[in-house]
Chains A and B, each alone.
Chain A
């Protein structure tokens, strides 16, 4: 009898120890089941990108047994589209219609009895809900089994100007890790229904954005008829920028301003399509006064950030920019004062160490390399970034700058030519 009680007690303890916490064990079971069911309904799409002359890859979601497939508009193309099912079968796909602005499209392949998603209801989503994304990050390669990843809904109704002419007015934001190749793939709720189409992701933070299914459902009939949907755009550029600031945060806005500064008169991709609107110009003029569009946009961004960007010496996460924003950087380097050890080793009493040489900037062209030590700028001794800047300020923009550097122990004179005529392709 005592033996039996002992065994029972042991079994109960063992049972409890072996089991996951009930919640997580059941969640995992659900994930496994979800992955099994939804993999077959996810497809990969390869298209030929005319402009680049190479192939692009994305994903899609089957929504009818006879072959209607939803994907992102930026994945779809009118010709050369091949859809690959999870079991490996390939089909030529036809683009039925798209909404380029809000980034969704309807494709059709000729097939029968395909497993397909039931369309869900994105309006009942709550922040914190578990969701899954399937697709082919990195492209299809040789196999056709989609990747499965999960995360939680971290925001609803997010507005984001994702790319040139692509605007998400009410996207679902999640923290599922997704990447290029996942575009167009399904966002699935735990009820196995399709609640969104994944479109964009921010590399810096784990934020992924999906077009909600409700928007697509509202326009599905029109798409099926072959008629493109106009879609919704941002109210105006100021609104768009404000929304971006909210979504992307100051770091991304800094990068935007950097691009504006470097663009040499060209608007960064996101703003294409706004730049020639008279209304927009009018609005900016009212808010910011006269000036060319470029400068006005810059001012607007500065206003959003509350300060002039690029004040970093290159230190810390915010200082990811060339040190002199607003005017074209003279050198294109990040520097820090030489350490005492190095001073002793090199037998110098000052100078700055180059910690990064930015690509396509004058310093790189002049042969400056990481770990070089700049002792003098145009004959003036320098000990930190400010002194470098001061020394540069004394040289007119269109003149060469002479740097005295220690490169691998040898003293050298490098001539840095002004950025300008010999300028390369923009990034």
Chain B
């Protein structure tokens, strides 16, 4: 009996395979087509890709929309969110940045809402974790899929609670790094480097993302990206450029969610591993000034490397004392300030090509940015902060900044905290924004 059943199964599959039709042939080209182009025709059926996709994938949108949520603040729609198991949801970190995390609500397909609380933000991967304060009718968490098998040209789907906001798009590629996108660029679509116009340098880059050619508008950030079986591939972060939307993949989510749930580890900061000083015009060799002039770098002559730390990315890529750094990627580096700005806009795991002058010769070492190690940081509290405030602040740096407290001192009326943290001073406000410390300055 079993053998006969097995045979029957095989026969049926073979039949099925034969009945799948090949790609419907495009209308065969007319043999005598004139060389001048055909006139524009007004088509009667939908002829734009969006309309076609909406019609074709209606079933998929309606079947899986339960995993997609809207994030509201009061009555205002901020962006989307992806429902996770165990009463959590993920959304875009950037979408929340201008909002203080009070009065957040999640809304499911069907209209039911539930209050939500911000647990943790991850600045590197641009996701924020929310906890649902109760059950949400009409919502169902999506199963985690496997994005490692995605192929260019494959259909992927962005789900929204309302089907009409859902979108289909083509998986474009897995970039090694997508470059740096300014927070404001989400609206203005400017990019760091050659395509930016002297825009204030951005604080965020994308390292591990998926890329698809759909439109992920501002209110679609945080919505889930799924494959045709409704398995989660990632969380949409936003539109970088037309045809270039980025998604934090599930592999990243699997890696960071446990830590995010415990409200630990928010970001990784960049580390080069060399010290430098602005190059003086008088010291600059002729070939360097000529090169800079040809490339229209007006102010400054680059940054001279004064020290390379062993085992650091700079050391590994062959940078030496005395080298003059003049470009990081395609950004000219006239002085140390610019280098600091550019440096702060990079992320660990990124690879940048430096342009360096060494004794009249031009070199292009490739530097792989590392994670910033913990360094000593001084936090100065505002005047009038009490001893209790100082204690609370110290506690918060431990949990929020993963800092190791060193000592507390009092200078006149101000409390000064010395801690060791991998978070640099200039980035503190990103983290302490919601942790409400009485901070005056951080160095």
Residue numbers of A with Cβ under 8 A of B are 3-4, 7-8, 11-12, 15, 19-36, 39, 46, 48, 52-57, 121-129, 133, 137-139, 141-143, 145-152, 154-158, 170, 175-182, 190, 201, 203, 206, 212, 214
Contacts and interface: CB of A to CB of B under 8 A. Distances in A.
B182 to A, nearest CB: 13
Interface string B1-35: 00011001100110010001111101101100111
6 contacts: A15-B12, A48-B295, A127-B40, A138-B240, A142-B177, A175-B48
Given A142-B351, A176-B243, 10 more contacts: A25-B20, A121-B29, A125-B37, A126-B41, A138-B191, A141-B176, A148-B213, A152-B52, A156-B40, A175-B50
Contacts of B352: 142
A155 B153 contact: no
A148 B21 contact: no
Nearest to B180: A141
Interface stretch (B167-175, B274-282, B377-385, B412-420): B167-175
Given A22-B21, A124-B33, A137 B193 contact: no
B150 to A, nearest CB: 10
A147 B193 contact: no
Interface string B260-289: 000000000000000000000000000000
Contact of A34 (B49, B153, B172, B176): B153
Contacts of B211: 147
A150 B49 contact: yes
A190 B178 CA distance: 28
Given A154-B48, A170-B37, A190-B26, A141 B151 contact: no
B228 interface: yes
A56 B194 contact: yes
B243 A137 contact: yes
Contacts of A181: 195, 241
Contact of B176 (A30, A133, A142): A142
Contacts, number: 209
Given A7-B9, A123-B35, A154-B47, A23 B24 contact: yes
Given A157-B37, A177-B213, A190-B26, A127 B179 contact: no
Contacts of A3: 5
B441 interface: no
B38 interface: yes
B244 interface: yes
B402 interface: no
B48 A152 contact: yes
Contact of B241 (A24, A121, A138): A138
A129 B26 contact: yes
A8 B179 CA distance: 52
Counting chain A CB atoms within 10 Å of each CB, the highest count among B12, B191, B297 belongs to: B191
A11 B22 contact: no
Given A53-B297, A124-B29, A156 B38 contact: yes
A203 B243 contact: no
A124 B34 CA distance: 9
A39 B152 contact: yes
Interface in B171-223: 172-173, 175-179, 189, 191, 193-195, 211, 213-215
Contacts of B172: 147-149
A182 B151 CA distance: 20
Interface of B: 4-5, 8-9, 12-13, 16, 20-24, 26-27, 29-30, 33-41, 43, 47-50, 52, 56-57, 151-155, 170, 172-173, 175-179, 189, 191, 193-195, 211, 213-215, 228, 240-244, 295-297, 329-330, 332, 350-353
Given A4-B8, A8-B8, A54 B173 contact: no
A145 B175 contact: yes
A97 to B, nearest CB: 23
Contact of A138 (B9, B27, B195): B195
Given A4-B4, A175-B50, A181-B195, A11 B29 contact: no
Contacts of B191: 138-139
Contacts of B228: 20
B242 A203 contact: yes
B21 to A, nearest CB: 5
Contacts of A46: 330
A54 B194 contact: yes
A149 B243 contact: yes
Contacts of B33: 121, 123-124
A179 B244 contact: yes
Given A8-B12, A126-B27, A139-B179, A28 B153 contact: yes
Contacts of A48: 295
Contacts of A122: 37
B241 A148 contact: no
B47 A139 contact: no
Contact of B173 (A34, A121, A139, A148): A148
A212 B242 contact: no
A203 B172 CA distance: 20
B195 A57 contact: yes
A152 B244 contact: no
A180 B228 CA distance: 30
B57 to A, nearest CB: 8
Given A35-B151, A212-B37, A177 B242 contact: yes
Contact of B177 (A125, A141, A148): A141
Contacts of A19: 20
The 5 A-B residue pairs whose C-beta atoms are closest, nearest first, are: A53-B296, A31-B153, A177-B243, A35-B152, A149-B213
Contacts of A32: 151-154
A133 B176 CA distance: 20
Nearest to B168: A24
Contact of B193 (A33, A129, A139): A139
Contacts of A141: 175-179, 329
A27 B40 contact: no
A11 B13 CA distance: 8
B49 A27 contact: no
A54 B198 CA distance: 11
A158 B40 CA distance: 9
